Chain A
Amino acid sequence: MTSRPFIQFNNFTFRYDSQTEPTLIDINLTIHEGEKVLILGQSGSGKSTLMHCMNGLIPFSYPGEIKGECLIQNQPSTSLSLFKIGQRCGSILQDSDAQFVSLSVGEDVAFVLENQNIERSIMIEKVKEATSKVHMSDFLTQVPFQLSGGQKQKVALAGVLHDEVEGLLFDEPLASLDPVSAKAAIELIDELHQSGKTMIIIEHRFEDVILKEVDRVIVMHEGRIVYDGDVDQLLKLSLCSKYGLREPLYLQALKTFNVPLDSQQSWAFLSSMIIPAFDLPALRPDVNTQSNECVLSFNHVSFQYDERPLIQDVSFNLYQGERIALIGENGAGKSTLAKLMCGILRPQEGNIMLLNQESSALSIAQIGQKIGLVMQNPNHMIAKQSVEEEILFALRLRHKDEELIQSKLIEVLVMSDLKPMRRWPVKALSYGQKKRLTVAAILALSPDILILDEPTAGQDYAHYTEIMSFLESLHKKTQLTFIFITHDMHLAMEHTDRALVLSQGKLIYDGPTFMALSDESLMSQASLRPTSLLGLAQQTGHDPATLAYHFIKEFHHGQ
């Protein structure tokens, strides 16, 4: 490559002051000007820490011990200042909530420009342009806490679009975006790259990112860089499963069906692959006997926060032991619906029945005995200062038997892979670890109905598989009813039987999950996108539903 290095790490090791072991170990990495690099790695592997070294937060904000050097455009980062580094590369942080520093969407998008003392008339134009790119121009005066998780992320994205910098760092920019918005975001990022900027993206949603070509992939594992090369090689060497990452679905499917693949061709783009024909048995879906007790029912429920109508006349019944996916575009009202289920919000019209009781007569704590909710934003749930205290708090309120408490604690700590960090303060956790902590704290209470608001956002494949198999085992053992709110269509397909599709506050579909995901008009109505299994099916001439069905079945069998 002829271009100059943009960021360079030489034998770089970093240890947070509060840690005894280094978090980044012996990093050697050069990112050239104009490159587009994707960083993959398990939750807690040090991705955000690496990014903080690139944008100067390490060493300027997080104290710690550095060995080796980190050069930004050939200058040691320690000799610059946060501001100087910021002039060369902008970044969006993983926690899009904390990133929101102003009082309204418009001001937040304008914040960088305000600080640069840009004239207001220019600023207004730029803000308009940036917000319309992420489809948020209708929300310019909205206050941060009135936005949905995905909308906040879009605002964060818009905030860097007009930045006159040479490089941009994104820490999980897609985590809570719906599939259509995620695709749009990736296209935006690509557009910026085409205009000559260096792009560094950290993402768990591997398959979404490589919709547009990336120059290089870096895989981190336990603080080290274990792979640095192109996408194709990564896929062919089967490194994903080795490091607990999710392979693109179509590849997983092809491997599951034992289809031989030509290693001469690129595996990174499904559309350009030549795939040999393979056979699938006919579709024989299980007959679902819905004789179970109805645990939760919504009857003509409507709700709105302000003058905009949101949840409109929603009715459905949930039966014990069901596995439900609640899907829909950003801002559709999914989190709102979850809050209605738990009594955090109360319907303005209609009623909700919980196990044949009017839910309006019950307090939040009483509903909480039956329904556990893991909120979308972990910062809204964590109330205690350490991992263990957080889990123990509610357990102690519910149970007296110390032995039982301890065994539950250990069980969920293992499930969430937080046991090694059980005594750590919450502050020292990575974002994904925090999210797992909230899941663990709720699961410890063994609720009858569990609502998980985007449990897999910010999680890697290995960790979320762990959580899912724990849930599956609970489901088998105790007939747990669970509801996933998710933008991961494959997760929905793999782990749920029934889908509720919400679009602009209306329930537009209620039926089997895999049928929903092969219904193209429904998908586009709700800003959803089919998984690459659909593409694979079309390319190989199979019926999409049949293919998906057999893949999930065989895949589970294989595990």
Chain B
Amino acid sequence: MSILVYTESENGKFKKDAFQAASYAKGIADKLGTNVTAIAFNTENTSELGNYGVEKVLNVSHEKLKNFNAEAYADAIAQAAKKEGTKVVVIDQTANGKYLAPLLAVHLEAGYASNVVALPESVDPFTVKRTAFSNKAFSLTTIDTEVKLIGLSKNAFPLKENKTELSTENFEPSLSGEDFSVNVESVDKATDKITIADAEIVVSGGRGLKGPENWGMIEELAEVLGAATACSKPVSDMGWRPHSEHVGQTGKPVASNLYIAIGISGAIQHLAGINAAKTKVVINNDPEAPFFKAADYGVVGDAFEVVPKLIEKLKEFKANNA
């Protein structure tokens, strides 16, 4: 009957998303008067989950599951849910979570609500709040099936420490050849760079920066802040920056704590993708730029003057607060 949460890991270590999902699952478990079971794949040390309200971990160690495989993971999670008699499953909304969740929903005949941003408003009917229309609205959605699957929006739910007595069980799903009919041939991932998905701070540049040769200061600002770099769509369409940096409605979503937009006008399609960022700073030389309306803090000024000064000030600040 417990709540089942998928706790995502990378190279054997849990991601922050895993602890957020566990904190969220604990919140639901408290509402329903039950407890939280986690499923983890090839993780070195499961004990950290005990800090976030998890009571039991089903630990899957399987050579073939070392690398993420959506169908095989979905099958394994479904088997765990059935074994535990789970009625509510929580999945984070990382790229992998979004990939496996609809497959899992079919395995469990579970109604699936994605992009959920808060604990259920009621448990009968089971009603959750999710984003819709590219963050321009929320939808209160009921999940009408017996088993319910929740996709927890990135950074929507804060980590909540909750020390519990944790037990770990090995879990061996029975997997077939069909589970591995999509093969990962190679992975190309820069390991030394902070990703937009995982970053606490994102520094983003637009067409106002005039050309790719001017990105040095954007990268330096990002480095001082420990931030990821991003850009508006025309910047990636023109090849100034790689496509992987394009954020917005048709690019990557941003849900970081801080988003700094430099030389970006704030078109509706751009805003749709970054609305979920908690604090927004806009630097633009046009006081009428629409982005200022969506900003928490605005600086009207020439980026080529403001950004280098900001970098100097931040370096001082970091030195004094180290």
Q: Do A and B come from one complex?
A: no
Interface residues of A (CB under 8 A from B): none
